[in-house]
Amino acid sequence: MKRIAFFPGSFDPISRGHEDIVLRALPLFDEIIVALGVNTAKTYMYSAEQRLEWIKKTFVDYPKVKVVSYQGLTIKACEKHKANFILRGLRNSNDYEYEKSIALMNQEMAPNIETLYLNTAPKWAAISSTSIRDIIKNQGNAEPFLASGVQL
Ligand code: ADP
């Protein structure tokens, strides 16, 4: 069985924390699909096209990483892409509680898809896309927190 992980998120924009999770998970999987979830009810700072371009650029040197976008339920998108794992990053106990409730419901709906978590590297634990957007909106330098493929 091929081990295919689905790494869903908004990536608005993709950060060093996101990049680090994918790179550290690479040895564990045959393929990692970084999946941009598009929620039509949500407003984003950057367009889906822009966010996808940055994600693709970040992982251009890694043939095991695929980049897609999807709408609707994550487990449905996993089934479509034949992913048998959902990969998530954990920064703190809030992330854990939030992720746990989603993972438990997903497990009930799709028992063949396991959710796996990696702890954030301490260096990136404070980073959130929300704070990055705040820095950018206030003309600060967000560069140290942005994934390698992001060019503002
Ligand atoms: P969502 O809108 O689903 O929360 P995000 O783009 O914010 O999407 O995050 C996608 C995934 O990356 C989530 O599992 C989140 O916990 C994780 N993540 C976010 N920031 C970091 C970080 N600094 N380090 C590690 N993982 C992170």
Ligand 1 proximity of 119 Cβ (cutoff 6 Å): no
Question: How many A from CA of 26 to the centre of ligand 1?
Answer: 17
CATH number for the domain spanning 22: value is 3.40.50.620
Does a structural domain hold residue 55? yes
Question: What's the pTM?
Answer: 0.96
Residue 5 backbone phi and psi in degrees, to 5: -105, 145
DSSP-assigned letters across all residues of 6-54: EEEE--TT-BHHHHHHHHHHGGG-SEEEEEEE--TTS--SS-HHHHHHH
For the record, the structure tokens of 22 come out as 């994918």
Does a structural domain hold residue 38? yes
Task: Give whole-number Cα distances, 8 to 23, 77, 86, 143, in Å.
Answer: 15, 10, 8, 23
User: Whose Cα sits closest to atom 10 in ligand 1?
Assistant: 9
Question: How many A from CA of 62 to the centre of ligand 1?
Answer: 20
C-beta of residue 82 within 8 angstroms of C-beta of residue 1: no
Q: Over the chain, what is the mean pLDDT? A: 97
How many domains is the chain built from? 1
Does a structural domain hold residue 77? yes
Tens of pLDDT, residues 78-126: 999 999 999 999 999 999 999 999 999 999 999 999 999 999 999 999 9
The domain of 124 spans: 4-145
- The atom of ligand 1 lying closest to the CA of 88 is 14
Pick left, alpha or beta for residue 72 (phi over 0 → left; psi -120 to 50 → alpha; otherwise beta). Answer: left
Question: How many A from CA of 10 to the centre of ligand 1?
Answer: 8
